[in-house]
Amino acid sequence: MALAVCVAFGGLLLPLSLLIDLRASLYGVWLARPSSLSKELVIRNNTQMYTAWKDPPVVPHLRMYFFNVTNHKEFLENGDKPILQEVGPYCYREHWQKVNISFHDNGTVSYSTQRFYYFERSHSIGSEDDVIMTLNIPMVSAVNQIRFAARLVKLALSSMLDVLKEDPFAAHTVKELMWGYDDPLLKIAKEIMPPDQQMPFDEFGFFYNKNGSTDGLFNVWTGADDMTQYTEIENFNHEKSLSFWKTDECNDIKGSDGTSFPPDIKKESVLYMFNENFCRSIPLTFWHDIEKYGIKALRFTPSASVFGNVTVNPENDCYCVDGPPCSGTGLFNVSTCKFGSPVMLSWPHFYQADPKYLDAVVGLKPDPEKHSLFVDVTPRTGSPLGAEARLQINVATTRIPEIKKAANLQNMIFPVVWFEDGVTEMPNEIVELLQMASNVPEMMKSQIILAIFLDGALLIASMDTIL
């Protein structure tokens, strides 16, 4: 039993944060020619662009929404639909910075991102001591791992769950769910698994060992030689592609880490963002025009077909490693890259998902205004003007009659938590500067916008994600 898979959640979230340099000084003067603009955007050591890129001084916030199961007994005993009470937000102030930075002769720069999280009670619905009744994810993961095993193995796990007094649902504080709690299943798994299969975790938590940690090593183009590749990933952890999926196309690492995009964005452009915890690159397509603070921008979002089933989007067949059956519309199965854990990603409240997933639970109400992921970019510079990253983590539960504690589970996709990450309000200094920029001659407007960008334009932090 590969029980260790159940800790795969401990880094599954995909944080996407907006970053602003509040100083926004105007002492730099640049011509409005595109070639000059591109020159100033290049990532070079000891420049304003480098400072804003390396250590953005703004304060993003992560907001968590847990699904409290109010009828877990009726769900198990009577087969009732689970009633989910959304509890949140629980807000965390973030600070992140790029570390282990190295410039290379081929026009690339490598780095990792270090992130810190600080709970903010004043912006939260409650304290981290609030108790949430939720799925016992380590137990459900263990059950899922042996669903095709011999009957004797299933009976052995059933006895173990009885001895350990494990149940399908468990009450934990927000703090425990976020940062980790002891679970006897994890400890046993660490003791009995072969050394080459042991995982370096002995607790379960969505952000276990993630506070102050660094992500993988990115290597991106600085734009010094070719601005069409600006900030796009050349390799990740010294690899140019992944190895999880069935085709080279789906394993290809495309686009940027989400912090910025090449200039000259058009409505026909497809923007790609890669995050290691998503285990793939996500394409963003044009949604609609927007205007913020007098600045015109283009809103990009994943199309409905990104998580479409193979009928809706045949190209997604490459992500169906263990099927058929493959994931339904609105779900993305990351078990292949998360130690086999039964993790299904979706947009919050099953937005854009097959209605059958929404019908299986009570308490969810998808709303594109609240639950869609989007990025607003200024076409000329590729600078993000705003963004909201939203993602939901679900667990595939499996009914196994031979395992007493799992005999009354339902074969379904069970929502556990969703999150959003971003900056909800613009600082007054930036708002005033942007408004001023919209009321000056075109050349001066370009200089002001460029000054904002170079002194810390709106950037999007890489997904940690999500998922």
115 neighbors 212 (Cβ within 8 angstroms): yes
pLDDT tens sequence across 123-178: 999 999 999 999 999 999 999 988 988 999 999 999 999 999 999 999 999 999 99
Token readout for 55 is 């250590």
Longest alpha-carbon distance in the chain: 78
The whole-angstrom separation of Cα 293 and Cα 274 is: 29
The whole-angstrom separation of Cα 265 and Cα 285 is: 11
Prior bond of 89 cis (ω within 30°)? yes
Would you place residue 450 in the very low, low, confident or very high pLDDT band (cuts 50, 70, 90)? low
The whole-angstrom separation of Cα 53 and Cα 46 is: 11
> Which residue did the predictor score with more confidence, 463 or 189?
189
Q: Which residue in the block uniquely carries the two structure tokens 């995982």?
A: 199
Taking only Cα atoms into account, the Rg of the chain, rounded to an integer number of angstroms, comes to 23
- Among residues 273, 272, 275, 270, the alpha carbon closest in space to that of 298 is found at 270
Would you place residue 465 in the very low, low, confident or very high pLDDT band (cuts 50, 70, 90)? very low
Degrees (nearest 5) of the Cα angle 455, 269, 290? 60
State the DSSP code for 4. Answer: G
Arithmetic mean of pLDDT, 74-88 = 98
- Among residues 34, 63, 19, 50, the alpha carbon closest in space to that of 391 is found at 63
129 neighbors 118 (Cβ within 8 angstroms): no
Token readout for 50 is 């480098």
306-321 in b/e burial notation, b at 16+ Cβ within 10 A?
Answer: bbbbbeebeebbbbbe
- pLDDT of residue 380 exceeding 90: no
Give me the helices (H) in 57-165, please: 72-78, 137-145, 151-164
Task: Compute CA 349 distance to the chain's CA centroid, rounded to the nearest angstrom.
Answer: 16
The whole-angstrom separation of Cα 443 and Cα 33 is: 9
Would you place residue 30 in the very low, low, confident or very high pLDDT band (cuts 50, 70, 90)? very low
Please give the C-alpha separations between residue 405 and each of 51, 78, 97, 165, in angstroms, as whole numbers: 54, 15, 44, 10
Question: Looking at residue 56, what is its pLDDT?
Answer: 74
Would you place residue 398 in the very low, low, confident or very high pLDDT band (cuts 50, 70, 90)? very high
The whole-angstrom separation of Cα 415 and Cα 412 is: 10
3-state DSSP assignment of residue 243: coil
